[in-house]
Chain A
Amino acid sequence: MNRTIVMVTIISGLLVRPVFAQTPVEILASIQKEAGSGAKGFSAARGETFFKTKQGGDMSCSSCHTDNPAATGKHAKTGKAINPLAPSANAERFTDPAKVDKWFKRNCNDVLARVCTPQEKGDFLTYLLTIRG
């Protein structure tokens, strides 16, 4: 009887817990790998500057994600609410490599009109991981 209850509890616990493909730290590690050994170390300070500064065009990351990555953002054009970007505030972030690739590609293109370098991506994620929700 007791064992049944324990088993049911464990199984339902597994079902309720969201299963993510990867953790943000693993994503960061694969960006590190992409950057290769020649790259300088990732810096949260550089990432923060990158996040908040307009990159050539009239937009920065913070145009939509706000200056606080743990806050709910707002699409600059459509006004649609954007869930927080920092993993501490939104456990879903940086857990699906395909999604991470898609959004880096799209948003770097919109903000910088080019792809981001692994160095930029690494700094960016390092900064986001320092944010405490």
Chain B
Amino acid sequence: MNRNILVWDIPTRLFHWLFALSFAIAWLTSERDEWLSVHGFFGYLMLGLLCFRLCWGAVGGYYARFSSFLYNPAEGFRYLRQLAQGKGARYIGHNPAGSQAVYLLLAAGLGVTITGLFTLGGEEQQGAIVGVVSLAAAKIIKEGHGLIAKLMLLLVFGHIVGVLVESWLHKENLPRSMVTGMKNAMENTPTSKPYRGAAVLLSALVILFGGWWFSYALQQPAPLNSKAQVAFVGPQLATDPQWREECGSCHLAFHPNLLPARSWQKMMAEQDKHFGTDLALDVATRKALLNFLTVNAAENSNREAAYKINRSLNAAESPLRITLTPYWVKKHTGIAKAVWNSASVKSKSNCAACHLDAEAGTFEDAAMRIPH
């Protein structure tokens, strides 16, 4: 006598769909720097969900426990062979091949989120582990991060193909079971409990985390032209009232970390023909400015833009225009002419038109908005 029983408890289903959603959004938002705050949120969410799932695998519902699907890879392959011959048996919980997908996806999830944390801490000097990884080392870790993400996408496709094949072979709707939790099973088959309390707790934690992550967007004053308001706020960089006054009257006070010290030396030495203007700075002012500029120059900064601008220059070059540095040029190719010519941008020196934190000099990825 067959009947409908509960197989997937609510926390397991919540985990499944939130994990899938997080991966999908993190994948899509990896394309552009400006989406880093969203990408980072879903990365942290994935890591949190994984921690939950590992615990739930020990104490959760019957079919969610690892003990209910402890199959080794050989058993997984044997099951795949049987499946190819149309003889794959129907399992109520995870089948031996599906179990491998679960373990591999959990491992890949951990790999991708942990390398993501190190990339964030290294390249952006942001996040939970700031200062552990150098900007130079972050490059390799970032490549690993991308590679694991691609492997994970392949696993996801494998998992989806498996689900479709199984659904077709056993004439049951497996995706629907992951929504309702129910499956048709023989009498005396073990059932799961819904675990409503744990589900409420898990949902509350996810909502609280999301609220906390995105709430500061509402507290910040709305910058010009921006629609999405979520941006990473960088650390407070060195500032100096005299520098702001002298360098910020005619143009944005470009932060010293955007050029190497040798460029600032040249700039101050040639202050009587500063892009066509004689600045007529007195000796004391020149000296004070040069000191601030060189102490905080690109080579002394741990910001991503500073590091990469400096790295892109060869030692013989002392550019006076930030827009002539190879890194700047590379990062700004592909921006449409219409954007450059739009009334709110006009000049390549108008960093603040797109970089919400240009005044602060941090140039965080997530603080960039191309005006429309």
Total of A-B residue pairs, C-beta within 8 Å:
30
A80 to B249, CA, bound (A): 8
Q: Confirm or deny: A106 has a beta carbon within 8 angstroms of a beta carbon on chain B.
A: yes
Chain B neighbourhood of A106, CB < 8 A: 277-280
A105 to B252, CA, bound (A): 21
Q: Confirm or deny: A78 has a beta carbon within 8 angstroms of a beta carbon on chain B.
A: yes
Query: Does A78 lie within 8 Å of B280, measured CB to CB?
Result: no
Q: Confirm or deny: B239 has a beta carbon within 8 angstroms of a beta carbon on chain A.
A: no
Q: Confirm or deny: B184 has a beta carbon within 8 angstroms of a beta carbon on chain A.
A: no
Count of chain A residues with a beta carbon within 8 Å of a chain B beta carbon: 10
Query: Does A109 lie within 8 Å of B278, measured CB to CB?
Result: yes
Chain B neighbourhood of A120, CB < 8 A: none
Q: Confirm or deny: B372 has a beta carbon within 8 angstroms of a beta carbon on chain A.
A: no
Query: Does B250 lie within 8 Å of A109, measured CB to CB?
Result: no
Chain B neighbourhood of A75, CB < 8 A: 250-251
Q: Confirm or deny: B349 has a beta carbon within 8 angstroms of a beta carbon on chain A.
A: yes
Chain A neighbourhood of B280, CB < 8 A: 102, 105-106, 109
Query: Chain A, 31-46, contact with B by CB distance < 8 Å: what is the 0/1 string?
Result: 0000000000000000
Tell me which of B250, B276, B277, B279 contacts A80 (CB under 8 A): B250
A77 to B350, CA, bound (A): 10
Give residues of chain B (289-347) contacting chain A, Cβ–Cβ below 8 Å: 346-347
Chain B neighbourhood of A18, CB < 8 A: none
Chain A neighbourhood of B276, CB < 8 A: 110
A110 to B272, CA, bound (A): 12
Query: Does A79 lie within 8 Å of B346, measured CB to CB?
Result: yes
A109 to B346, CA, bound (A): 25
A83, closest chain B residue (CB): B249
CB distance from A57 to the nearest CB of B (A): 11
A78 to B277, CA, bound (A): 13
Give residues of chain A (82-133) contacting chain B, Cβ–Cβ below 8 Å: 102, 105-106, 109-110
Chain B neighbourhood of A77, CB < 8 A: 250, 275, 347
CB distance from B340 to the nearest CB of A (A): 12
A76, closest chain B residue (CB): B250
A79 to B250, CA, bound (A): 8
Query: Does A78 lie within 8 Å of B278, measured CB to CB?
Result: no
Give residues of chain B (255-292) contacting chain A, Cβ–Cβ below 8 Å: 275-280
Query: Does B279 lie within 8 Å of A78, measured CB to CB?
Result: no
CB distance from B345 to the nearest CB of A (A): 9
Give residues of chain A (31-78) contacting chain B, Cβ–Cβ below 8 Å: 75, 77-78
CB distance from A100 to the nearest CB of B (A): 13
A44 to B2, CA, bound (A): 100
B280, closest chain A residue (CB): A105
Tell me which of B249, B278, B347 contacts A79 (CB under 8 A): B347
CB distance from B254 to the nearest CB of A (A): 11
CB distance from B211 to the nearest CB of A (A): 36
A83 to B250, CA, bound (A): 11
Query: Does B278 lie within 8 Å of A80, measured CB to CB?
Result: no
Chain A neighbourhood of B252, CB < 8 A: 78, 80
CB distance from B39 to the nearest CB of A (A): 32
CB distance from B102 to the nearest CB of A (A): 56
Chain B neighbourhood of A79, CB < 8 A: 346-347, 350
CB distance from A12 to the nearest CB of B (A): 23
Which residues of B are in contact with A by a Cβ distance under 8 Å? 249-252, 275-280, 346-347, 349-350
A-B contact pairs, 5 of them (CB 8 A): A75-B250, A78-B251, A79-B347, A109-B280, A110-B276
Which residues of A are in contact with B by a Cβ distance under 8 Å? 75, 77-80, 102, 105-106, 109-110
